[in-house]
Amino acid sequence: MSRPHRRALALVVAAGAALALPSSAPARVIEAEGILPPGQSGYVSLTGLTGGTGSPHLYDQQPLFIDFKRKPFGMNLATGTPETPKAGVSIRRDTFGVPAVTGATELDAWWGAGYALAQDRMFQLEAFRHATQGRLAEVTGKGALGDDLISRRDYYTPAELNAQFERFPLPLRQRTQAYVDGINAWISHLQATPTDLPAEYIATGTALTPWTVVDTLGIGVFLARTVPSGDGSELRNLRAVQDSGAGVLDALLPRSIKGQLSTIPRSEGLFPQGRVLSAKKAAAARKRSLAFAKTLPATSDGTARAAARKADRPAGMIGRTGGSSMFAVRAPGKRAILFNGPQLGFSVPELFVEIELHAPGYDVRGVTAAGIPVVGIGHNDTVAWGFTSGLSDEDDLYAEKLDPQDRESYLYKGQWRKMDCRNERFDFKSPPSDLLLGGKIPESGSVTRRVCRTVHGPVQAVEGNVAYARKYAIWQRDLESLVGIDLLNRAKTIKDVDAAARAVTWNENIMAADSQGNIGYWHPGLVQIRPSRWDERLPLPGTGEAEWGGLVPRSKMPHVINPKQGWLANWNNIPSQGWTSGDGESSERVTGQFHRVGWLMRLVRDLRKAPSFQAARSVVEREGRVAQQRPLASARLRRAQKGATGKAKSILDTVLTWDGDYHRQAADGTVDPGVAAWEAYKTALAARAVARLGKGASRFEDRPGGSHAFDITAKESYALRTLTPAGYRAAAVTAFDALAKRFGSEDPARWREPRLLYDVGAQGAGQAPPLPFFDRGTWEQIVELGP
């Protein structure tokens, strides 16, 4: 680790020690449960290839999940026959196949973790390796070439990964190598016993090769860069402004919004991102950026599609930006309850995998991603913690002015500079299964693409005389987050969590509770101090006049410990009242008082009045089966209902009679008419509200993300906030006509539709049973701690 990074880590530890909190906490997890549907394993056998079978733990957690139940998530519960793959390593599995690894040393424990998780997720490791190295097309065919280009363009070369690794503390470097060695021990077993080989290797014609440290590092970088937040939406915003002017941006992507819901109460601090702009300065920045936008070429469909591809990863695929909810409540008797439900969609197998580890002085259980030698979310003996995607804007897109005589040169601070460019060769090969299953002749070949970087970062698009390069605050420091997560795994009190939060570089929200009843929340990571003369929502000029003012000091990032209200809740909402929305990588952040976290906050506020483990379970169920804005909009809906007649009254009566529960079903499997009525009504409300905004409004999402099917979009939120009661009633008439046509009846009682199912992805040959949609976590944990 370099001297500056050692010094930063020392300051982090010192800052944590300065907190005026108890210095020790008795070791007690009172109760803990968790669930990972469909199951722990991803192993499909060769004989089970066509049916997606193999391990008994492929799908065995899904029935519990559907019934809002979870399995035990405490320590030392595994009673299976121990496996000893080498001296000093013992692996036992519980009834759901979750491995509990005991090592004579920490290195032994992590060697065993690599071995056990390779048993469970070997082909997923292979898929991750290919995806993060830009080689997925070698396994799945030329359709993956676009993703492969992104992987090599926007991330790092092996030499750059190794340079980050060399800055790790020595113990973490040693642990990583031990973990890699454990994976390779299982690979050696598979090479000697090919009958145990996952069927996907045969189906795709993929060779099994040794695992390397660089393979693990590549996965770590992808997770650090993509799960907490994605790239910005500057090109979408630019296109909207080019279509319709600034009004559409101010309406659908305001920098901040009245009534916005933050995890940290205003009374606990504002925590702005860098400089606070006065209204006058913000208006001047907006005017300046709009003038600059007029000088930029029109954004083509191809450029827009290329930008959208990066944000459109399927469920379970590494590189997908997350959602996620969590809450923490203080309880009498110095107790605390923590829930976390990270939402990365559902797939076979999941992105997460569960593990329990024990070594002298080291006990931890939770979930991680295959290939990563830390426990991401979980608990030890005295602390439980969870993550949600921070979704803040920690990158900016710069418009580089190209030299007409040399399109790999750009103007920066008055001089033409050469880009750092290289050629990358991409091989592609259709899997043999294309011939067997679809009758297609497998094709193979290679293409070469040019990838370039400017002083700001990787060039992601070229339009006319402009190259768009993205600057990341986390650039070349992604893997430092593993150092912080290791500190989190070892935390004994909430002050230790504070120290760990100041060591991570990614923007993944942290919430934690300890066994003395303390709770806390952190919105951490490396975040830029934006140039105050420019609007954060649009591309910045790359010629040198819009450079960052450094990074926000870690101590000034949003955080709170033991807020006076006694509870905390986050569902990817803004962290604090002083925070702004940036360029809208996640436009859900600007839904104001109708953000989905408002529903969770209502539930958690009530939980605080009589906190218990069973009551926390009830919160999780109500959170996960109710269309959040239906109860949040009740007052406005009732105002519109007054004076409503005919079709409008029919819609408003149907919606208000419904309590928002989309899981409750009749004997025929259909759901309440309110489900279809509410969805049609939201669509009609949005269409009416944004009609005046012009074509630019079409650049914004019409549907919420896949993990939040019944949530609202920025357009729908804008409608709920701005339409008058008369506007609500007019939209209700439109919704009535659409529903009458769809169902062939004007009787709302006949507007029943089948229960919505989740689109479950696959990273191999697994075939999960149908999964009803819930707005719930890919992994869920509830942990109660106390003395």
Residue 575 in this model has a pLDDT that exceeds 60: yes
Model confidence at 455, in pLDDT bands (50, 70, 90)?
Answer: very high
Provide mean pLDDT across the span 167-185.
98
Q: Name the average pLDDT for the chain.
A: 93
DSSP state letters, 437-504: HH-PPP-EEEEEEEEEE-SSSBEEEEETTEEEEEEETTTT-TTHHHHHHHHHHH--SHHHHHHHHTT-
Q: What is the DSSP string of 728-755?
A: HHHHHHHHHHHHHHHHT-S-GGG---BP
Nearest to 758 by CA among 777, 739, 742, 743: 777
Strands (E), 77-117: 83-86, 89-93, 99-103
pTM above the 0.75 mark? Answer: yes
| 654-710 tens-digit pLDDT | 999 999 999 999 999 999 999 999 999 999 999 999 999 999 999 999 888 778 999
Assigned token pair, 92 = 């036992």
Question: If you average pLDDT over residues 546-574, what whole number do you get?
Answer: 98
Backbone angles phi, psi at 337, to 5 degrees: -125, 135
Q: Which positions ≥6 away from 222 have C-beta within 8 Å? A: 128, 131, 132, 151, 155, 318, 319
Closest CA to 148 of 136, 156, 138, 158: 136
Q: In this model, does residue 2 exceed pLDDT 80?
A: no
pLDDT 10s digits, 299-322: 888 887 777 667 666 655 676 676
Query: How far apart are the C-alpha atoms of 519 and 513, rounded to whole Å?
Result: 4
DSSP letter at 670 equals: B
pLDDT digits (tens, 9 = 90+) for 605-628: 999 999 999 999 999 999 999 999
Residue whose C-alpha is closest to residue 496's, from 477, 479, 480, 516:
516
223/322 Cα distance (integer angstroms): 10
590 — phi, psi (to 5°)? Answer: -110, 30
Residue 1 has pLDDT above 90, yes or no: no
Q: How far apart are CA 661 and CA 673, in angstroms?
A: 11
Q: What average pLDDT does range 579-594 have in this prediction? A: 86
Kindly report, residue by residue over 747-768, the tens digit of the pLDDT: 999 999 999 999 999 989 999 8
Q: How confident is the model at residue 16 (pLDDT cuts 50, 70, 90)?
A: very low
Q: CATH classification of 628-661+664-750 is 1.10.1400, yes or no?
A: yes
Q: Within a 10 A sphere around the Cβ of 205, how many other Cβ atoms?
A: 15
DSSP per-residue codes, 567-599: EEEESS-BSSTT---TT-SSGGGG-GGGSTHHH
Structure tokens of 617?
């379970």
Q: List the strands of the sheet with 362-369, edge to edge.
A: 83-86, 89-93, 99-103, 352-359, 362-369, 377-379, 383-389, 508-514, 519-522, 559-561
H/E stretch holding 185 reads helix 170-192
Mean local confidence (pLDDT), 11-23: 36
Q: Closest Cα to residue 145, out of 361, 400, 541, 424? A: 424
Describe the strand order of the beta sheet including 29-35 as a list of residue ranges: 71-72, 29-35, 780-785, 335-341, 325-331, 567-570
Closest Cα to residue 389, out of 357, 445, 342? 342
Q: What is the pLDDT of residue 438?
A: 59
- pLDDT value of position 206: 95
